[in-house]
Structure 1
Amino acid sequence: MQSPIDLIDERVQRTSKLGRLDTHYKPANATLINRGYDMTLTWIGGAGHIHINGTKYQLNQAHWHTPTEHGINGQRFNLELHLVHQSTNDKFAVVGVLYKLGHNDSFIAKIEPYLQALASTKGVNKSVGIIDPRVIKIGNSTEYYRYMGSLTTPACDEGVIWTIVRKVKTVSREQVRIIREALDDEANGNARPIQPLNNRWVKLYIPHDHKTN
Structure 2
Amino acid sequence: MMMMIIKLCLFAMTVLSIAPANAQTQGVGFGYGGKNGPYRWGYLNPNYTKCSVGKLQSPIDIQRRQTFLNSGLKPLHRDYYTTNATLVNHVCNVAMMFGEGAGDVVIDNKNYTLKQMHWHTPSEHHLHGVQYAAELHMVHQAKDGSFAVVASLFKIGSEEPFLSQMKDKLMKLKEERLKGNQTAQVEVGKINTRHIERKTRKYFRYVGSLTTPPCSENVSWTILGKVRSMSKEQIEVLRSPLDISYKRNARPCQPLNGRRVEMFHELVN
| TM-score, normalising length: structure 1 | 0.93
| Counterpart pick for 2:195 among 128, 135, 153 | 135
Counterparts of 1:211 and 1:200, CA distance in 2: 22
Alpha-carbon distance in structure 2 between the residues aligned to 1:211 and 1:160: 26
1:186 deviates by: 5.4
Paired letter, 2:257: N
SS at match of 1:3: coil
Name the residue aligned to 1:85. 140
Query: Which segments of 5 or more consecutive residues in structure 1 lack a partner in the other structure?
Result: none
Match of 1:124 in 2: 184
Equivalent residue runs for 1:16-55 within 5 Å? 16-55=71-110
Q: Which amino acid aligns with 2:74?
A: G
Question: How far did residue 86 of structure 1 move?
Answer: 0.2
- Amino acid in the other structure paired with 1:153: T
1:197 aligns with 2:248: no
Match of 2:208 among 149, 152, 161: 149
| Residues 103-124 of structure 1: per-residue CA shift (max 9 Å, x gap) | 1001111211111111252312
2:125 is aligned, of 57, 66, 70, to 70
3-state SS of 1:103 partner: coil
What one-letter code is carried by the residue in structure 2 that aligns with 1:142?
A: R
Q: Which amino acid aligns with 1:115?
A: L
Q: Is the 8 A contact 1:150 1:158 kept in 2?
A: yes
Partner of 2:6: none
CA distance in 2 between counterparts of 1:132 and 1:3 reads 29
Compared CA separation, residues 110 and 15, structure 1 to 2 (3 A): same
1:79-118 paired onto structure 2 within 5 Å: 79-118=134-173
In 2, distance between residues paired with 1:118 and 1:145? 33
SS of 1:158 mapped into structure 2: coil
Do residues 9 (structure 1) and 64 (structure 2) align? yes
Give the RMSD, CA atoms, in angstroms.
1.5
Instruction: Determine the C-alpha separation between the residues in 2 that align with 1:163 and 1:187.
Output: 25
For 2:201 and 2:93, the matched residues in 1 are separated by: 27
Q: Displacement, 1:10?
A: 2.1
Q: Secondary structure at the match of 2:130?
A: coil
For each residue in 1:20-69, what CA deviation from the matched residue of structure 2 results, as whole angstroms up to 9, or x when unmatched? 00111111110011111000100112211000111110000000000000
Q: Which residue of 1 aligns with 2:52?
A: none
Q: Secondary structure at the match of 2:194?
A: helix
In 1, Cα distance between the equivalents of 2:139 and 2:268?
30
In structure 2, do the counterparts of structure 1 residues 161 and 105 end up closer, same or farther at CA, with 3 Å as the change threshold?
same
Higher share in helix: 2
Partner Cα separation in structure 1 for residue 87 and residue 206 of structure 2: 29
- How many corresponding residue pairs? 209
Unaligned runs of 5+ in 2: 1-55
Distance 1:156 1:72, change over 3 A: same
Amino acid in structure 2 at the alignment position of 1:173: K
- Tell which has more relative contact order, 1 or 2 (C-alpha 8 A, sep 6+): 1
